[in-house]
Amino acid sequence: MATEVTAPVRGMHCAACVGKVEHALTSVAGVESASVNLATERATIAFDPAQTDFARLRAAVEAAGYELSEPPPPAEAADAVDRERAAREAEQRAQRRKFSVGAILSVPVLLGGMSHVFPWVPAALREPWLLFALTTPVQFWVGWQFHRGFLHDLRYRTASMSTLVSIGTGAAYLFSVAVTLWPHAFAGHGAVTYYDVSAVVITLVVLGRWLEARARGRTSEAIRRLVSLAPRTARVLRDGREADVPTAAVLVGDLIRIRPGERIPVDGAVTEGASTVDESMLTGESLPVEKAPEARVFAGTVNRTGSFVFRAARVGSETTLARIIKLVEQAQGSRAPIQRLADRVAAVFVPIVLGLAALTFAAWWLLGPTPAGLMALTNAVAVLVIACPCAMGLATPTAIMVGTGRGAEFGVLIKSAAALELLHKCDTIVFDKTGTLTVGRPSVTDVVVVRAAGGATAEASGEMVSEDEVLALAAAAEQGSEHPLGEAIVARAKERGLALPPVGEFTTVPGQGIDAMAPDGRVLLGNRALMDARGIEVGALAGRARALAAEGKTAMYLALAGRPLGLVAAADVLKPEAAAAVAALKRLGLGVVMLTGDSRVTAEAIARQAGVERVLAEVLPEDKTREIQRLQAEGRRVAMVGDGINDAPALAQADVGIAMGSGTDVAIEAADVTLMRGDLRGAVAAVELSRRTIRVIQENLVWAFGYNTVLIPVAAGVLYPFWGVLLSPILAGAAMAFSSVSVVTNSLRLKRWRPQHGA
């Protein structure tokens, strides 16, 4: 069985690096798959531990010129996130410091090098030796990261963005040094220095690195916020004493005390006390949830009002919070199919750009106007510094990171980038009925009182009963029953605060109902067969019973002392938000189908209430997968929403499986998307988020490809023969610096996304 690890990768600078690390990993025997994410700087590797181990993987990555670090143990996840955050902040400070030094030194170099534009610049500032002195620290200290990357690329016979920047600025700098040392040798070729190109381009690219690092740091905020939800310690009751212990040391079965305002450290069930708990950070539900004995509580949620004790049930990596963090990390580290084109282009991008720069130099040298050498150098440098493979590498992962993190804030957990992309292509969504469209348990929907001759109620004719009395008597007869319908009747009577009359001698009549004895006579509660068997005429209620059955409800007759009193109807009712969710999905252009094993009459009644037009009823659990396959055979892209164990195969068969968080672990494991709140509007939100994220990815890719497709030829000088337009290397460097920033910034717009149709 394959082992999967996610480990940090260091030394990557652009999209070209991603392919090299992946190639190094997949070349190791026993590695089944490897996916590297530039935005998170992590590699997800699936390998056979019988054939290889992490040491070999690390050696392969090091041989390619990069560094693969050991993944942190689950117990140290919070510390690992803190270390990663500290490392990112340190990188940002270093880039900011280098930019500040570069800017201070580059401004006078720019003014002195462009004295024809700024005639008021003092003559001393135009002195080549002063420009040399100011530029050299920028070239070799501020820009050392690019030269080091170029040397690294030479050693491993590869190329990256550092290669382009180092060669481009190095050519401008060395030419300028040659002009400064031997000005007479270049007099015939235009003795012009390019110190301003070298200094300003490096400074602008470092500025881009700094801004990109800041923006990329914001894309991973969702993980940091989730990890920070878990408290570091827990107050455990052991041997009659309370002690604060590390959360990682809490054991299953430990009793833990929670006081007002504290976060819950692990999952469990309340044993003593009561309170309200804010679960919004896990489910998106804004209202606090009441907690009483036996109620479940979850790690990371916040206790509000009371104090209580709970017994730990899930600890460490098994808590709901830990599983959510793992799902979000998996999604952020995965790769969407839409990224494949960018990956293929990035693999050959830098060599192509080097070839185009060489071709540009040769063309201008041979065909350009005087001074041809300077024109050739200027345009070749512009081609080198304007090309940006980073934008292509960041286009997809940054949007995936922000989108999946934002979804988690609304209780929508998306397991992979592929699921996110597939969901936006789905045109049909299939809902399981019981527990998904409906609440999953019966409740009383109607109480009908028998009518006397002429249409008056029994109560108006002076006989006996009201609706409350019918309900109270039915509940009294059912209070010893464990049947779901009986429990629903008793629950409704308690909700209304009804006093139940004393009833004894309970007898269950198999397949028919209940026979009991009340002070006023024998009580019968059951179906028509029970009434007929006891000789009770219920013709006056038969029409209403048929109407209730047509609505998918179970109608039970109630009789006392041989006289019918009325009907009590119960049904598994539609969730309050179901109709609105179905309507919202239709507005989004999706076809909605209901799939259930219930009878067609019941299924169609629920479907009418929900607004679902296509119903697949009386489907056995093992046949649900076949129904999904039939829809797919019709050419449909199908998303399936379910919650039970019997839904798991259908969820796996669907193009995208969506599990209700209130459902079983098996269904959640089989699904691609999990709705933590169990609210159907989450399915609408998932579709909206998918479409919005893919739109942002498409915008990023259009920008990344369009930028390089349009501006590289402009930098090469293709517009010069027609309009005399040339692109300054300084402007080229500025454009390259901000191309990656623009892609990441566009992705960050997803942080402001909110569901429009869903909650």
- Predicted confidence (pLDDT) per residue in 191-205, tens digit: 678 898 899 989 988
- For the chain, the average pLDDT equals 86
What's the CA gap between 219 and 399, in Å, rounded? 8
Q: What is the reported pLDDT for 444? A: 92
Q: What is the reported pLDDT for 464? A: 54
Alpha-carbon dihedral angle through residues 356, 362, 364, 369, given to the nearest 10 degrees: 180
Q: What is the reported pLDDT for 353? A: 93
Q: What is the reported pLDDT for 346? A: 74
What's the CA gap between 323 and 713, in Å, rounded? 49
Q: What is the reported pLDDT for 133? A: 96
Task: Using the predicted structure, report yes or no on whether residue 556 has a pLDDT greater than 80.
Answer: yes
Mean pLDDT along residues 34-49: 87
| Token pair recorded at residue 480 | 């010893």
Helices (H), 496-533: 528-533
| Token pair recorded at residue 196 | 């301003």
Mean pLDDT along residues 33-46: 86
Q: Return the closest-CA partner of residue 410 out of 682, 644, 147, 751.
A: 682
Task: Using the predicted structure, report yes or no on whether residue 694 has a pLDDT greater than 50.
Answer: yes
Q: What is the reported pLDDT for 459? A: 41
Q: What is the reported pLDDT for 74? A: 58
Task: Using the predicted structure, report yes or no on whether residue 84 has a pLDDT greater than 80.
Answer: no
Angle CA 69–74–79, to nearest 5: 70
Q: Residue 720: count other Cβ atoms within 10 Å of its Cβ.
A: 17
Lowest-confidence segment of 152-156, 171-175, 350-354 by average pLDDT? 152-156
With bands split at pLDDT 50, 70 and 90, how would you rate the model's confidence at 354?
Answer: very high
Q: Return the closest-CA partner of residue 556 out of 534, 529, 537.
A: 529
- Predicted confidence (pLDDT) per residue in 156-166, tens digit: 888 888 888 89
Task: Using the predicted structure, report yes or no on whether residue 116 has a pLDDT greater than 90.
Answer: no
- Which residues are identified as catalytic? 432
The 412-414 sheet, strands edge to edge: 412-414, 673-675, 656-660, 638-642, 428-432, 591-595, 614-616
Q: Return the closest-CA partner of residue 6 out of 51, 75, 52, 57.
A: 57
- Which residues, including other chains, have CB under 8 Å from residue 418's CB and lie 6 or more apart? 334, 335, 336, 337
Task: Using the predicted structure, report yes or no on whether residue 381 has a pLDDT greater than 70.
Answer: yes
Mean pLDDT along residues 541-545: 91
Task: Using the predicted structure, report yes or no on whether residue 64 has a pLDDT greater than 80.
Answer: yes
Lowest-confidence segment of 177-181, 219-223, 432-436, 621-625 by average pLDDT? 219-223
Helix (H) or strand (E) holding 489: helix 484-495
Task: Using the predicted structure, report yes or no on whether residue 36 has a pLDDT greater than 60.
Answer: yes
Task: Using the predicted structure, report yes or no on whether residue 664 has a pLDDT greater than 60.
Answer: no
Q: What is the reported pLDDT for 227? A: 77
Give buried/exposed letters for 372-398 (b at 16+ CB in 10 A, else e).
ebbbbbbbbbbbbbbbbbbbbbbbbbb
- Predicted confidence (pLDDT) per residue in 228-245, tens digit: 788 889 999 988 889 999
Mean pLDDT along residues 117-138: 89
From the centroid of its chain, how far is CA 632? 25
> What SS3 class is residue 467?
helix
With bands split at pLDDT 50, 70 and 90, how would you rate the model's confidence at 284?
Answer: low
Lowest-confidence segment of 149-153, 458-462, 568-572, 639-643 by average pLDDT? 458-462
Rounded to two decimals, what is the model's pTM?
0.78
Angle CA 36–38–143, to nearest 5: 135
Task: Using the predicted structure, report yes or no on whether residue 356 has a pLDDT greater than 90.
Answer: yes
- Predicted confidence (pLDDT) per residue in 325-342, tens digit: 777 777 777 777 887 777
Mean pLDDT along residues 255-283: 90
Select, from the ranges 197-211, 248-262, 608-622, the one with the highest average predicted confidence (pLDDT): 248-262
- Predicted confidence (pLDDT) per residue in 495-524, tens digit: 999 999 888 888 888 878 889 999 889 999
With bands split at pLDDT 50, 70 and 90, how would you rate the model's confidence at 461?
Answer: very low
Could you tell me which residues are beta bridge partners of residue 302?
A: 263, 278
Cis peptide before 371 (omega within 30 of 0): yes
Give buried/exposed letters for 661-685 (b at 16+ CB in 10 A, else e).
bbbbebbbebbbbbbbbbbbbbbbb
| Token pair recorded at residue 281 | 């950070």
Helices (H), 247-339: 280-283, 320-333
127 phi and psi angles, rounded to 5 deg: -65, 120
- Top pLDDT among 283 and 537 is at 537
Lowest-confidence segment of 40-44, 445-449, 711-715 by average pLDDT? 40-44
With bands split at pLDDT 50, 70 and 90, how would you rate the model's confidence at 454?
Answer: very low
- Top pLDDT among 719 and 328 is at 719
Task: Using the predicted structure, report yes or no on whether residue 668 has a pLDDT greater than 70.
Answer: no
Mean pLDDT along residues 43-47: 91
What's the CA gap between 277 and 262, in Å, rounded? 10
Q: Percent of the chain, pLDDT > 70?
A: 92
Mean pLDDT along residues 73-88: 67
Mean pLDDT along residues 652-673: 76
Helix (H) or strand (E) holding 579: helix 578-587
With bands split at pLDDT 50, 70 and 90, how would you rate the model's confidence at 113?
Answer: confident
Q: Return the closest-CA partner of residue 468 out of 489, 451, 441.
A: 489
- Top pLDDT among 665 and 661 is at 661
Q: What is the reported pLDDT for 531? A: 93
Residue 683 and residue 663 in contact, taking contact as beta carbons nearer than 8 Å = no
Task: Using the predicted structure, report yes or no on whether residue 669 has a pLDDT greater than 70.
Answer: no
Residue 652 and residue 638 in contact, taking contact as beta carbons nearer than 8 Å = no
What is the amino acid identity at position 180?
T
- Which residues, including other chains, have CB under 8 Å from residue 526's CB and lie 6 or more apart? 509, 512, 513, 514, 556, 557
Task: Using the predicted structure, report yes or no on whether residue 663 has a pLDDT greater than 60.
Answer: no
Residue 523 and residue 536 in contact, taking contact as beta carbons nearer than 8 Å = no
Task: Using the predicted structure, report yes or no on whether residue 357 has a pLDDT greater than 90.
Answer: yes
- Which residues, including other chains, have CB under 8 Å from residue 165's CB and lie 6 or more apart? 143, 146, 150, 201, 202, 205, 384, 385
Mean pLDDT along residues 624-636: 93
> What SS3 class is residue 505?
strand
Instruction: From residue 647, give the alpha-carbon distance in Å to each of 339, 420, 595.
Output: 31, 21, 10
- Predicted confidence (pLDDT) per residue in 385-411, tens digit: 898 777 887 888 889 989 998 998 888
Q: Percent of the chain, pLDDT > 90?
A: 44
The secondary structure of 337-397 as a DSSP string is: GGGHHHHHHHHHHHHHHHHHHHHHHHHHHHHSPSSHHHHHHHHHHHHHHH--HHHHHHHHH
| Token pair recorded at residue 658 | 């969506």
Q: Residue 294: count other Cβ atoms within 10 Å of its Cβ.
A: 8
What's the CA gap between 415 and 99, in Å, rounded? 38
